[in-house]
Amino acid sequence: MAWVYIEDLGRHLGEEVTLRGWLYNRRSSGKVHFLLVRDGTGVCQCVAGINDLGAEAFAAADHLGQETSLAVTGVVREDKRAPGGRELTVKRIEVIAPASDYPITPKEHGVAFLLDQRHLWIRSSRQHAILRVRSEVESACRDFFAERGFVLFDAPILTPTSCEGTTNLFEIDYFGERKAYLTQSGQLYAEAGALAFGKVYCFGPTFRAEKSKTRRHLTEFWMVEPEVAYFNLDDDMQLAEDFVAYIVARVLERRREELKTLERDLAPLERAAQKPYARITYDEAIERLRAKGLEVKWGDDFGGDEETALSSEFATPLLVHRYPAACKPFYMKRDPARPELALCVDVLAPEGYGEIIGGGQREDDYQTLRARIVEQRLPLESFEWYLDLRRYGSVPHAGFGMGIERAVSWLCGIHHVREAVPFPRMMERLEP
Ligand code: 4AD
Ligand code: MG
């Protein structure tokens, strides 16, 4: 008896196989049960007739609850009408563990309820599709950098300092002796890595104690952050563009079924798989926003509304570069041509999704960086190691960070980032 995954059924037409999975749904028509069985790789319609099963087993099958785990043995047949194009003519059903009163039924449920049931909700076809896209995006990130010779350089999660500003730090009591913080970004450590290995990336969870309840904010999210020695802002923008286009193309190539399940419009993704992307400066962005009637002050960072307005003007992702330095973190290098600007870039996803990437060139001059740390009243002692990177063989370098959940939300066309991670962490949610 050959155990086969549903996604591989096409290679077993006419053979007798066993599926191991869970009962997703079922209906009956007198002498035939149609059992929809899922095994994580797909859903297969299993047709169980009274003559094949025998009266007793047939009657038992009529009482199987949703999400009962079972092994179903039968012959694989091609059937264009069945989901996936294949079905199983059942010979035998073995119940592994029964389930009754499964809380998530095919009827509509509220989001709060579903989030409480997240451990089960991930079995539903939509959530399942989103998380498979996420898995593909993460593999694509790793492949992109591996193909280009980047070293995976894991950054610590417990840190002594802030990186992206002190207002949204999670503080931890470290053995009753001192304070530690959950990392906001692996960047500072990736910079050390870049000066050791030339090109590196870190990829891990990051934390922001942000009191924002928008559809784009999580308190824990995953970020992939490349950092490259001898890169300037232009090099960095090119890398970001190549990276995003690569990921989009990969998802289109390998996760079409999932995008179909999500009823994702593929046209904007097809365009985003094509380079080049549009690029504008912050100054130009301000002009465009004002022309649209938005009241924006030069010097302010953009929020969701501004980003949505800007990105809706372009068919591809949009790179906005050279923001006012005052609204950006201490480590950003200033534009020598206009020192009030930072050599930074944000990548805004189209269709109103807004920022998915933030990055830029880093301040590489020892005196300038030190002065900035002092100016921003950051604890100098904690940054001595970071300043060492400018003391010993400093070079121009740049990098960026992409939030996985933001990217996945856009690719999947979903409204809220909370569905783009298995177990979302938000201000008002820590469970399950
Ligand atoms: O723009 P951010 O804050 O940049 C950094 O952290 C840099 N140190 C990265 C670097 O240059 N290595 O964050 C980068 C990305 C954002 O563009 C967004 O996609 C995501 O991280 N992000 C969040 N995602 C979900 N919830 C939040 N609260 C997020 N904050 C940032
Ligand atoms: Mg940002």
Pocket test for ligand 1, best of 137, 153, 223, 247 (most atoms within 8 A of CB): 223
Q: Is the pLDDT of residue 81 over 90?
A: no
Q: Is 401 in the pocket of ligand 1 (CB under 6 A)?
A: yes
Q: Which ligand is nearest to the CA of 213?
A: 1
DSSP 123-139: TSHHHHHHHHHHHHHHH
Q: Which ligand is nearest to the CA of 406?
A: 1
Q: Which ligand is nearest to the CA of 189?
A: 1
Q: Is 208 in the pocket of ligand 1 (CB under 6 A)?
A: yes
Relative to the CA of 212, which ligand 1 atom is closest?
28
Q: Is 268 in the pocket of ligand 1 (CB under 6 A)?
A: no
- Spatial neighbors of 70 by CB under 8 A, at least 6 apart, are 20, 21, 22, 23, 37, 64, 93, 94, 95, 96
The pLDDT score that the predictor gives to residue 29 is 87
The residue ranges of every structural domain in the chain are: 2-97, 118-420
Q: What's the mean pLDDT in 273-288?
A: 97
Lowest-confidence region among 83-87, 299-303, 343-347: 83-87
Q: Is 217 in the pocket of ligand 1 (CB under 6 A)?
A: yes
Q: Is the pLDDT of residue 341 over 80?
A: yes
Pocket test for ligand 1, best of 137, 167, 185, 344 (most atoms within 8 A of CB): 185
Please report which confidence band the pLDDT of residue 84 belongs to, taking 50, 70 and 90 as the band edges.
confident
CA distance 427 to 371: 35
Relative to the CA of 226, which ligand 1 atom is closest?
12
Burial class (CB in 10 A: 0-12, 13-18, 19+), 79: middle
- Spatial neighbors of 112 by CB under 8 A, at least 6 apart, are none
Cα-to-centroid distance, 208 and ligand 2 (Å): 12
Q: Which ligand is nearest to the CA of 206?
A: 1
Q: What's the mean pLDDT in 72-99?
A: 93
Please report which confidence band the pLDDT of residue 90 belongs to, taking 50, 70 and 90 as the band edges.
very high
Please report which confidence band the pLDDT of residue 275 belongs to, taking 50, 70 and 90 as the band edges.
very high
Answer CATH for 2-97 from 3.40.50.1370, 2.40.50.140, 3.20.20.140, 3.40.30.10: 2.40.50.140
CB atoms within 10 A of CB 279: 16
Q: What is the pLDDT of residues 294-313, one digit of tens each?
A: 999 999 999 989 999 999 89
Q: Is the pLDDT of residue 62 over 80?
A: yes
Cα-to-centroid distance, 71 and ligand 1 (Å): 44
Q: What's the mean pLDDT in 287-291?
A: 96
368 token code pair: 């300038």
Q: Is 406 in the pocket of ligand 1 (CB under 6 A)?
A: yes
Relative to the CA of 218, which ligand 1 atom is closest?
26
The pLDDT score that the predictor gives to residue 165 is 80
Relative to the CA of 355, which ligand 1 atom is closest?
17
DSSP structure class, residue 7:
G
Q: Is the pLDDT of residue 1 over 80?
A: no
Helix axes 125-147, 404-412, angle to 10 degrees: 120
- As a CATH number, domain 118-420 is 3.30.930.10
Q: Whose CA is nearest to atom 22 of ligand 1?
A: 403
Q: What's the mean pLDDT in 332-344?
A: 98
Pocket test for ligand 1, best of 137, 217, 221, 402 (most atoms within 8 A of CB): 221
Q: Is the pLDDT of residue 83 over 80?
A: no
Q: What is the pLDDT of residues 394-416, one digit of tens each?
A: 999 999 999 999 999 999 999 99
Give me the residues paired with residue 338 across strands. 335
Q: Is 400 in the pocket of ligand 1 (CB under 6 A)?
A: yes
Q: Is the pLDDT of residue 362 over 80?
A: yes
Q: What's the mean pLDDT in 120-130?
A: 96
Q: Is 328 in the pocket of ligand 1 (CB under 6 A)?
A: no
Q: Is the pLDDT of residue 112 over 90?
A: yes
Cα-to-centroid distance, 357 and ligand 2 (Å): 7
Q: Is 358 in the pocket of ligand 1 (CB under 6 A)?
A: yes
Q: Is 329 in the pocket of ligand 1 (CB under 6 A)?
A: no
Q: What's the mean pLDDT in 2-26?
A: 96
CA distance 98 to 10: 29
Mean pLDDT rounded to a whole number for the chain: 95
Could you check whether 2-97 and 118-420 share the same CATH topology? no
Q: What is the pLDDT of residues 192-235, one digit of tens each?
A: 999 999 999 999 999 999 888 899 999 999 999 999 999 999 99
